Amino acid sequence: MAPKRRKLLGRRTAAASAARAARASETPEQTSLRLSQMASSSAARLSTESAAARTEMLTSAASTMSARRARLSVEERSLQNSQDAVRVARLRASQSPAQKTLRRLRDATAKACSRGLERPEQTTSRRLRNIRATAASRVSEQLQETAHRRFRNALSTASARALESSAQTTVRRVRNARSTASAIVIESPAQTIIRRVRNARSTASAKALESPAQTTVRCVRNTRSTASARALESPAQTTVRRVRNARSTASARALDSPAQTTVRRVRNALSTASATAAENSEVCRQRLENFSQLRASLNGVTLPSASI
């Protein structure tokens, strides 16, 4: 290393050590003041600088990082990545809640700025790269790591949804519905089958692990959601839903084997018998009257009311 560069590195190390010592000895009020000043200065700088300046800064930083990593071998790059990950993990573990909030705000601002400046092909490339990286990491993870990741994601999702307003909830649901619809439209029949099988397995595994109280809560929640959705639909939407359900039921029953048909009929008979045994005499009388009127209307005969 050249003497001038060594001297400059020594000055930077000494300045960083002095800054760390000063931060370690400051009070919580001083920390909050410093972080608020940093946040305000960062926001002011981002609001005043132009898009060209941000683009130039991001391009320069990306080129510097790529040139620096290009000079390293694969082993050195892997070692540096692991060291960086350990250093970042230790730094984040030692941060206060205010520092974590500032870091997340700064990261979100930088991500929004960078994504707002990227071209459509860059967006597609980034999403494809993220999908490949996610798939590769999930293939190599252990069962405990998978459970820990899902639990962490569930906590993060629950905390984010608890803080959102009604308008944000509506926007999120509309955006998710549009994204799901666009993805389902472009998928092939094989992908549709794979998605349905994966969803069925996931639902079955989740239902097998839930307690009776959780099952009751889920059934009540689903019933309320279905009732509220059907109360808001128009007659045309009701007709479309019934036709779609009839077609889906017919196609599913056409693919049933004789054993599956028998199992379905037995399950339906048991369900009907349990529901009939739980209802009182008035409900039973009303059900029989409705059935008689329906059968008579199908035969073209109108029966007099039971009250006459």
Going from N- to C-terminal start, the domains of the chain cover 198-227
The pLDDT value given to residue 262: 92
DSSP-derived letter for residue 308 is: -
Model confidence, pTM: 0.38
Q: How many Å apart are CA 58 and CA 113, to the nearest integer?
A: 10
Which stretch, 56-60, 177-181, 272-276, has highest mean pLDDT?
A: 177-181
Q: Which amino acid is at 113?
A: C
**Position with higher pLDDT, 88 vs 191:** 191
Q: Which two tokens stand for residue 42?
A: 């960062």
Q: How confident is the model at residue 243 (pLDDT cuts 50, 70, 90)?
A: very high
**Position with higher pLDDT, 140 vs 75:** 140
Percent of the chain at pLDDT above 90?
Answer: 9
Percent of the chain at pLDDT above 70?
Answer: 86
The pLDDT value given to residue 240: 92
Q: How many Å apart are CA 241 and CA 172, to the nearest integer?
A: 24
Report yes or no: 102 and 39 within 8 Å, Cβ to Cβ: yes
- The average pLDDT across 246-260 equals 89
Q: Is 64 exposed, middle or buried (0-12, 13-18, 19+ CB in 10 A)?
A: exposed
Q: How many Å apart are CA 50 and CA 56, to the nearest integer?
A: 10
Report yes or no: 207 and 215 within 8 Å, Cβ to Cβ: yes
The string of pLDDT tens digits covering residues 179-232 is 888 888 888 888 989 998 999 998 888 888 888 889 999 999 999 989 888 899
